[in-house]
């Protein structure tokens, strides 16, 4: 049976079914991982729309004598430097936590799929190597993205230079808008091809550019399913942020005025962490389905349960119904 004969809606339904089954079978384990890793990230995401304007428009307290000078001091450079430092610090804090959470959840999904014991302490103790592999893979993808953006910017500048030589007004041709559109389409395309790179780097002990290539090979035939997952969960996070932004909170100093802020943050963080959890879980399940589509999963299941009863993976209390879907 060729890969084109598989129905991607049926595959997508299978991915969602496997994801729901794994999470429900080990709900306390995934709840603990969400509290450890995903809830802090969700809090940062929810609080960033309120914190960013304060941080970006921060002005230093000037001494009284500086206010008497004729030439006012420019605050553009300190604000830009402060923003750059804060962004770098946030990235340095965000990436390790996000990578650790993604690696822990991914390994738990795979263990739950094969019916292995899902325990949090052994998972956390052996997490350093997968996190390093995942960070190296993210850095490799970032380097490629940076090279693409730099190439597009260079072409845009070259186009502006040619237009200036030909005495053509740049307003008649929007090179920046055209370049931004090309960059967005290209990056979205690569993001689709590399959506399984994180799972590959965690589960196959590879890092750098190899997981990116491997992801492009696995996702062949399941791209529409991957797009649907990104649209659903991305829209969920976007609507959560948008809905909480429309929630007007009164300003004041009493506890009654602070409680809506606390409720808004807790509710938004919980919803966002749940969506982030299912993004990671569904991509781990999508990785398994992609391996099944390419004929790689059945051999692993046979090897995994070679010394046990052959029908164990298809027990009703187990997760691996993917083979029955793929080989149907």
What integer pLDDT is reported at residue 315 of this predicted model?
43
Low-confidence stretches of the chain (pLDDT < 50) are: 1-2, 4-5, 58-78, 309-328
The token pair that represents 219 in the structure block? 């996702």
Residue of 118, 155, 140 lying closest to 33 (CA atoms): 118
The model carries a pTM of: 0.76
Would you call 252 exposed, middle or buried from its count of C-beta atoms within 10 A (0-12, 13-18, 19+)? Answer: exposed
Per residue in 101-116, pLDDT (tens digit) is 899 999 999 888 888 8
What integer pLDDT is reported at residue 148 of this predicted model?
84
The token pair that represents 272 in the structure block? 């966002």
What integer pLDDT is reported at residue 128 of this predicted model?
86
Q: What are φ and ψ of residue 145, in 5° steps? A: -60, -45
- Within 8 A by CB and 6+ apart from 143, the residues are none
Length of the chain: 328
Per residue in 134-157, pLDDT (tens digit) is 999 989 988 988 888 888 878 877
Domain boundaries of the chain, sorted by first residue: 3-53+76-128+219-326
What integer pLDDT is reported at residue 278 of this predicted model?
92
Per residue in 43-78, pLDDT (tens digit) is 877 776 666 555 555 444 444 444 444 444 444 444
What integer pLDDT is reported at residue 254 of this predicted model?
60
CB 109 within 8 A of CB 284: yes
Residue of 99, 58, 48, 53 lying closest to 78 (CA atoms): 58
CA distance 18 to 22: 6
**How does the average pLDDT of the chain come out, rounded?**
75
Neighbours of 163 (CB within 10 A): 15
């Amino acid at each position: 049976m060729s890969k084109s004969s598989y129905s991607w809606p049926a595959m997508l339904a299978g991915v969602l079914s496997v994801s729901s089954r794994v999470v429900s079978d080990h709900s306390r384990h995934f709840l603990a991982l969400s509290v450890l890793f995903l809830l802090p990230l969700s809090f940062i995401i929810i609080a960033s729309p309120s914190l960013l304007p304060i941080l970006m428009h921060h002005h230093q307290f000037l001494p009284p004598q500086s206010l008497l000078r004729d030439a006012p001091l420019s605050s553009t450079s300190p604000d830009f430097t402060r923003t750059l430092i804060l962004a770098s610090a946030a990235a340095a804090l965000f990436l390790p936590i996000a990578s650790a959470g993604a690696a822990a959840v991914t390994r738990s999904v795979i263990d739950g799929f094969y019916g292995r014991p899902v325990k949090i302490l052994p998972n956390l103790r052996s997490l350093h190597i997968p996190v390093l592999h995942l960070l190296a893979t993210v850095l490799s993808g970032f380097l490629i993205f940076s090279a693409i953006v730099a190439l597009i910017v260079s072409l845009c500048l070259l186009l502006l230079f040619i237009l200036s030589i030909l005495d053509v007004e740049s307003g008649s041709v929007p090179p920046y808008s055209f370049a931004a559109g090309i960059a967005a389409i290209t990056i979205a395309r690569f993001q689709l091809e590399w959506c399984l790179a994180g799972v590959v780097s965690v589960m196959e002990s590879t890092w750098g550019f190899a997981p990116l290539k491997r992801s492009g090979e696995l996702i062949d035939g399941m791209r529409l399913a991957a797009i649907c997952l990104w649209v659903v969960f991305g829209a969920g996070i976007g609507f959560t942020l948008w809905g909480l932004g429309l929630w007007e909170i009164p300003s004041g100093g009493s506890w009654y005025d602070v409680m809506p802020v606390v409720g808004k943050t807790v509710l938004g963080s919980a919803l966002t962490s749940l969506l982030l959890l299912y993004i990671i879980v569904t991509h781990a399940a999508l990785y398994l389905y992609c391996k099944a589509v390419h004929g790689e999963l059945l051999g692993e299941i046979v090897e995994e349960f070679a010394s046990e009863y052959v029908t164990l993976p298809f027990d009703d209390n187990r997760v691996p119904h993917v083979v029955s879907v793929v080989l149907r």
